[in-house]
Amino acid sequence: MPDTKEIMGFAGKKLFRLASLLVLVCFVSFMLIQYSPIDPVRAYIGEMTVSEEHKAKLEEYWGVNTPPQEKFLNWAGNILKGDFGVSLIYRMPVVDVIKERSTASFVLMATSWLFSGVLGFILGIVAGMKKGTWIDRAIKTYCYVLAATPTFWLALVLLMVFSVNLGWFPIGLSVPIGVTADNVTFFDRIQHLILPALTLSLLGVAQIAMFTREKLIEVLSSDYVLFAKARGEKGLDLVLRHGVRNVALPAITLQFLGFSELFGGAVLVEQVFAYPGIGRAAVAAGLGSDVPLLLGIVIISALFVFSGNLIADIIYKFVDPRIKQQEAAV
């Protein structure tokens, strides 16, 4: 078990990295938006005609003529107070928009993450066991094709085949059109979730499957596995006792490290399927020049990716006993 000093040192480093990451992400994102052609006043009034006096008040409210450095400090101060501003598109606080949209995105990403991890791990184990056979070649080909497939293209293909042509699943959204929230059933939500989750999970299979395959081949060629074979162990029992146990933790660690790819894929999938998640809100904020919402989503996405890396580091440092043995040997 790790001692208190080691845990405190680890936590201190991670908190410092998180603070540094947020400051850097906030500053760079804010400055990029400030020097972009985005006009928050025009985005707020849209096509409405307003008087010059009203427009001047809006420019003063949004700080159009304020120096960028001063605007950043004011915005950062409000962020520290929990005030992310008001969304120009949805006309509600950014925090409320993120809360509302993040629930749907969390369900989508969690489902896809679990399915891709389990399926990729199983395919990797099978490919490693059948190294050099037609099964191994088929799984590798499948993974290479998936790795080279654009997310939006696969989403469009699945949408056209299973929704438009076959009619097995609804076309987009997370609930049926024209149905109030009280009348939406659990089955309705599952039915609208299947295709987006399937698209996102299929794309995440390739990396975990190929990694698991390589690690299993490495484990099966190790000395202690050769010794186990000499004692008469073989087949699936050998793989389960010595292979899976040594491959599982690195595979789980890699799965957590893939949070950035998961979030990026979710943005495209949500856009294609019109799924009302935080990724679709990010696209709408970018196209609609909704600066407060866009910056809020940037912060949330940075926290999401950091959390995945943090969990992976915890597994790597405190859970995997081989790491402790390597550190002790050094």
Per-residue tens of pLDDT for the chain, all 330 residues: 556 776 777 778 888 888 888 888 888 888 887 777 666 666 666 666 666 676 677 666 666 667 777 778 888 888 888 888 888 778 888 888 888 888 888 888 888 889 888 898 889 888 888 888 888 899 889 888 888 888 888 888 888 888 888 878 777 766 666 666 666 677 777 878 888 888 888 878 888 888 888 888 888 777 777 777 777 667 677 777 777 777 878 888 888 888 888 888 888 888 888 888 888 888 888 877 778 888 888 888 888 888 888 887 777 776 655 545 444 444
Q: Where are the domains of the chain?
A: 12-87, 101-328
Q: Which of 198, 220, 210 is nearest to 139 (CA)?
A: 210
Predicted local distance difference test score (pLDDT) of residue 330: 41
- Measured distance CA(204)–CA(202) in Å, rounded: 5
- Measured distance CA(146)–CA(113) in Å, rounded: 16
The residue whose two tokens read 């939406």 is 184
Q: Which of 280, 262, 281 is nearest to 271 (CA)?
A: 280
Task: Give the other-Cβ count within 10 Å of 152's Cβ.
Answer: 15
Superfamily of domain 101-328: MetI-like (1.10.3720.10)
Query: How far apart are the two ends of the chain, measured CA to CA in Å?
Result: 18
- Measured distance CA(102)–CA(233) in Å, rounded: 48
Structure tokens at 227: 């010794």
Can you give the pTM of this predicted structure?
A: 0.78
- Measured distance CA(216)–CA(124) in Å, rounded: 8
Q: Which of 116, 108, 305, 306 is nearest to 212 (CA)?
A: 116
On the CB side of 13, CA atoms within 13 Å amount to: 8
| Coarse DSSP helix, strand, coil percentages of the chain, rounded to the nearest 5 percent | 80, 0, 20
Predicted local distance difference test score (pLDDT) of residue 129: 83
- DSSP class of residue 131? T
- Measured distance CA(265)–CA(203) in Å, rounded: 8
- Measured distance CA(296)–CA(193) in Å, rounded: 25
Q: How far is CA 217 from CA 31, 71, 194, 247, in A?
A: 48, 55, 33, 10
